[in-house]
Amino acid sequence: MIDELQMSPDTILPLRDVVFETLRKAILTGELKPGERLLEIHLGKKLGVSRTPIREAIHKLELEGLVTTIPRRGAEVSRITEKSMHDVLEVRRALDALCVELACERITKEELTKLEMACLEFEEAVAKGDVKMIATKDVALHDIIVQATGNQRLLNLITNLSEQMYRYRFEYIKDVSRHKKLVDEHRVIYESIRNKDKKTASEAATRHIDNQMQAIIERIRLEK
């Protein structure tokens, strides 16, 4: 007899979710560009589904902030302005500071070990100079910290805010001269969390986002 049997949960993912993920990815990777209109019939034909799941996916994307809709006119990919990105990063900075403070209080020994590992793996990626790997390891590291807060709502919000800056995630990594700074900042964050030193941790996290903000805003100005 079988004691426990777990079925793969996404065997029959609803179409609307498939469409949502597809469009989301297309927007984040820049395949669908800011300002581009999202026509329901057109997308439906392209993806081989009816308008209904397309509509539902578009609405979900709207709530996530990735698309903007005008009544009786339809949806378009949200335009990114310097102001909107600044707004996002300003909030993100505060929430990241909150994250590390809460992590100081609540992180477990296991998570702390994982965090140290993530730091090392990040340094390794930097040593290799592999930009894609650096980005991946950076996300992994921050993920561990958010998880350690145990706050689901905080996790959701940070995930969403990160999404808004996805297109620019390489900007602050590409500049090799910043690499040492990045490694140092991660180390400070890790050590201050280990020492339960909230003040140092939150200052480091704030600086960390500040640096990214600078790089991203610079990039947006260039796009004009």
User: Residue 207 is encoded by which pair of tokens?
Assistant: 């600086």
The binder of 63, among DNA, a second copy, none, by C-beta within 5 to 8 A per type, is a second copy
184 binds a second copy (CB under 8 A): no
How far is the first Cα of the chain from the last one, in angstroms, to the nearest whole number?
65
Nearest approach, Cβ of residue 199 and DNA (Å): 47
Q: Which among a second copy, DNA, none contacts residue 74 (Cβ within 5 to 8 A by kind)?
A: DNA
Region class of 205: left (phi > 0), else alpha (psi between -120 and 50), else beta: alpha
- Using CB under 7 A as the binding rule, whether residue 53 contacts DNA is answered as yes
The binder of DNA chosen from 35, 74, 139, 184 (CB under 7 A) = 74
Min dist. Cβ of residue 115 to a second copy (A):
21
Q: How many CB atoms lie within 10 A of CB 88?
A: 20
**Residue 153 contacts which entry, DNA, a second copy, none (Cβ below 5-8 A, type-dependent):** a second copy
Length of the chain: 224
What are the respective helix, strand and coil percentages of the chain, to the nearest 5?
75, 5, 20
In terms of CB distance, is 67 or 88 closer to DNA?
A: 67
Widest CA span of the chain, in angstroms?
65
Least gap, CB of 152 to DNA (angstroms): 22
Cβ atoms 93, 206 nearer than 8 A: yes
CA dist., res. 8 & res. 69, Å (int): 35
Q: Does 152 sit near a second copy (CB under 8 A)?
A: yes
Task: Give how far Cα 63 sits from Cα of 52, 67, 73, 87, Å.
Answer: 17, 8, 17, 17
Q: Does 71 bind DNA (CB under 7 A)?
A: yes
Is 73 a residue that touches DNA (CB under 7 A)? yes
Residue of the chain from 51, 181, 198, 207 that contacts DNA (CB under 7 A)? 51
Our CB check for DNA shows the closer of 55 and 86 to be: 55
How many chain residues are in contact with DNA, going by CB under 7 A?
23
